[in-house]
Structure 1
Amino acid sequence: MMSLQDKLYNWLTIKVVVDARPEDTAANDTKEMFERLLLEEHGISHPVVTKDEIMYFINIERNGEPKTYRFPRDLIEVMLDQITEEPEKYVNYPEK
């Protein structure tokens, strides 16, 4: 079972891809799946993302308590970097 931190990491990684490629149906579906898991398993519905030169920050509220998670940008952006470097491997297949 994935921890909350693992789910936030995966959600943020795919969110970065969706933000750059909003037409990517697979990325959107994956992001929505992680959003459901965050809500259903952890009660988190509106994580707030900020970033600086080095880190991404996710601010959440859980059980009335605020908490911030941080992740290095190079780890979060690795999937987007791969897609950008080899777009032919990541063709979008939109739903019909």
Structure 2
Amino acid sequence: MRLLDSLFYWLQMKLVSEARPDDGAARETVLFFAQILSDDHQLTSFQIESKDELKWYVSYSDKDGAVKTVWFDREAAEMLLHDMGVYTKEDEE
């Protein structure tokens, strides 16, 4: 799986997991993608940096210490939240 795909899926599941803290399957899926990012892509850290009206920003570090930030379309990243009915208007703020 490509790095950007892995980061995107991790972001989607991280958002779901935060919206549904009692959802064990969501937590396990976040950990699954975190393992891929660590093992397959040798990332040492990755986290949500911020969001704005149109984008989610994720930063990550590789084994050499290089830090990079990528962005993902907010609507695409939040699609699972919409599909699950856990997205509310307040989440836009």
Relative to the length of structure 2, the TM-score reads 0.84
Give the alignment of 1:38-49 within 5 angstroms.
38-49=37-48
Local SS of the residue matching 2:69: strand
CA deviation map 1:46-94 (0-9, x unaligned)? 2121111110011111222111111011000000111017xxxxxxxxx
User: Which 5+ residue runs of structure 2 have no aligned equivalent?
Assistant: 87-93
TM-score (norm 1): 0.81
More strand by share: 2
Q: Is 1:80 matched with 2:85? A: no
% identity of equivalent residues: 33
Aligned pair count? 84
State the structure with more CA Rg: 1
For 1:54, the aligned partner's letter is: L
Q: State the Cα RMSD in Å.
A: 1.2
**Looking at both structures, which has the greater relative contact order when contacts are Cα pairs under 8 Å and sequence separation is at least 6?**
1
Long gaps (5+) in structure 1 = 86-96
CA distance in 2, matches of 1:65, 1:45: 10
